[in-house]
A and B are shown apart, each in its own frame.
Chain A
Amino acid sequence: MAEATTQARGGIHAASHPPAGRHATEPVLEIAGLTVSAGPVDLVEQVSLSVMPGETLCLVGESGCGKSLTCMSALGLLDDGLKATGSVRLFGTETMGAPERVINAVRGRDVTMIFQNPMAALNPVKRVGAQIAEAIGEHTELRGAAVDRRVMDLLEQVGIPKVERHKNYYPHQLSGGMCQRVMIAMALACRPKLLIADEPTTALDVTIQAQILRLLRDLQSELGLAIVFVTHDLGVVAEIADRVAVMYAGRIVEAGPVDDLFDDPRHPYTRALMDCRIGFSREPGTMLEAVKGTVPAPSARPVGCNFAPRCPTADARCQAEPSLSSDGARAVACHFFDPSAGAVRQ
């Protein structure tokens, strides 16, 4: 297992291509061998990934595959009943198992998070402006009127009109899209270097989704922040990702640059996902593909490759757990993938 982990880390490291002009040596987030368990059941198994400054990593997969848990672990936000092991390094500092003040030094300042349901993520009895101000007061030297000015600047930056009035609103007086903008403003309050976005557009209308995505992209190029973007929407991935990590049943099955992954998916699960897309290339009138079967529950995962029961190419080898192996740009966890040949053998 240790070997697999090392390989996995190596694989994704090598696969990272920060966009030109934003080179930095150290990853802002580095997760290694992360396992999240609820009692005897492992929900996330041996996940390793790293995010370089300024890049966008998309974490893709079906519901329940462990995307959110991976993100929560990165910020130490797991619920009480869950236990995480492995390593999480934020800006080079190990936070796994460290006291809360260690992670609080960066949490909310250098690394922030936005969530799936923005309405529920905001405190219902506090004005939105005050909630943003709280983050500023916690992590900066600004006080009083300076905080207020910063709050209004932030709200303007995320495209909220009439900030003078809206900052005094309570969350329930704003729409879901507006609340997510407030969440983003709050996340950006202390000029973070990494933003973790856990399905930030899933609960929103499609038009609002597009607005929020555009906003995140603009802010990213403006502020040079790295983004971990969790989604199950491949359209969103194509739009914003630099790199993609595909998760299935608690593990990363494939990772690589977004264009490579879309052009030439190598893991059978990734390929199946790509086949499910609706696009212009699809012949009108043809049936939409669906990945056959369902994701196994964490307690009922098979021995060996988790995808084997649904995999069209599975054979006897799949009884053993495949390790995530890399050919330099791509990492794939499949026995049929040959890193030296650079393609999945048929």
Chain B
Amino acid sequence: MNPQFVITKLVRGTLTLLLTVTFVFIVLRASGDPAQIMLSDEASPAAVAAFRERWGLDRSYIEQYLAYLTAIIQGDFGTSFRDGRPALEVVMERVPVTLLLGFTALLITLALGIPSGIMAALFRGRWVDHATMSFTILGHSIPNFFLGIILILVFSMTLRWLPSSGTGSIWHLLMPAVTLGTAAAATVARFTRSSVLDVLHQPFMRTAKAKGIPYDRRILRHALPNAAIPVVTVVGMRIGGLIGGAVTIETVFAWPGVGMLLVNSVNQRDLAVVQAVVLLIALTMVLVNLIVDLTYGWLDPRIELHNRRAAKT
């Protein structure tokens, strides 16, 4: 992997993060005065002024922005209005729960989506294909929260097999993970199917056939490595969305992760926490994109060469 390629990607990622910080800063400041929301309406003007001074809200936006940037670069994401602890700490303690849910969902996505997409492509027009495609349409069209509520109705309320909310055991994990995972599996299955179909019609597949390579090895050695390239993109996007993508599902299942924290913090205008969460989400997105780009270079030699050429000039 050439360093220039990595550095370019890193610089771009940093720029993306900077834009995100700025955007979040502007939107949050524009959406209301935290002093008014945190303190009750009856609070004395002196108390409000004291609050504003305490949190630096009395300074100009430019000053606030620069102070915030400096702090972030030093790893200081500010203090939560609500419990006075560092925002980063508040967020980080939620990350493991969210990741647990996210990665379980991702495993379900991959285990369902990729094999069914491949089978649908290989048996195009046959019942496997029709069945898979029907399920993907279902998966696409049922909103996540709705599927979650249905699952709760069936498995918690009616059958009383699974807990409807909270965390603590594998049984708690099951329904939210399945809800999250199946919807994404639909997307992945569709992408995999079209990608494999596209590759099956490439001239080099005919070459492999003309070489006398048997069917299963033509698929494994020639079709799938080429078909993997676009699939990596979708899977990468799923991984990038793991931290922040479960907002609705965490709320439906009262899963105490980052998504729920974000919703609560937005409601309470806990600026520092919201900023920390959004930045964390942006950071994972940027990192995962970087990893996806590097994976491309490994999967598809054409991409790496292109960048190596660019680096030479």
Contacts and interface: CB of A to CB of B under 8 A. Distances in A.
Interface of A: 75-77, 79, 100-101, 104-109, 112-113, 115, 117, 120-126, 134-135, 138-139, 170, 172-173, 183, 186
B203 A104 contact: no
Interface string B196-214: 0000011110111111111
Contacts, number: 77
B211 A170 contact: no
15 contacts: A75-B210, A100-B215, A108-B213, A113-B207, A115-B206, A115-B207, A120-B203, A120-B204, A121-B203, A121-B207, A123-B207, A124-B301, A134-B221, A135-B212, A183-B207
Contacts of A107: 209-212
Contacts of A108: 210-213
Contacts of B203: 115, 117, 120-121
A138 B302 contact: no
B9 interface: no
Contact of B211 (A125, A126, A135): A135
Nearest to A79: B201
B244 to A, nearest CB: 33
Nearest to B208: A123
B210 A77 contact: yes
Interface of B: 201-204, 206-215, 221-222, 225-226, 299-302, 305
Given A100-B214, A107-B211, A109-B212, A173 B204 contact: no
Contacts of A113: 207, 210
B300 A120 contact: no
A139 B301 contact: no
Contacts of A138: 211-213
Top 7 nearest A-B pairs (CB, nearest first) are: A108-B212, A108-B211, A107-B212, A120-B203, A170-B301, A113-B210, A123-B204
Contacts of B206: 77, 115, 121
B72 to A, nearest CB: 41
B211 A134 contact: yes
A170 B306 CA distance: 12
A203 to B, nearest CB: 11
A57 to B, nearest CB: 18
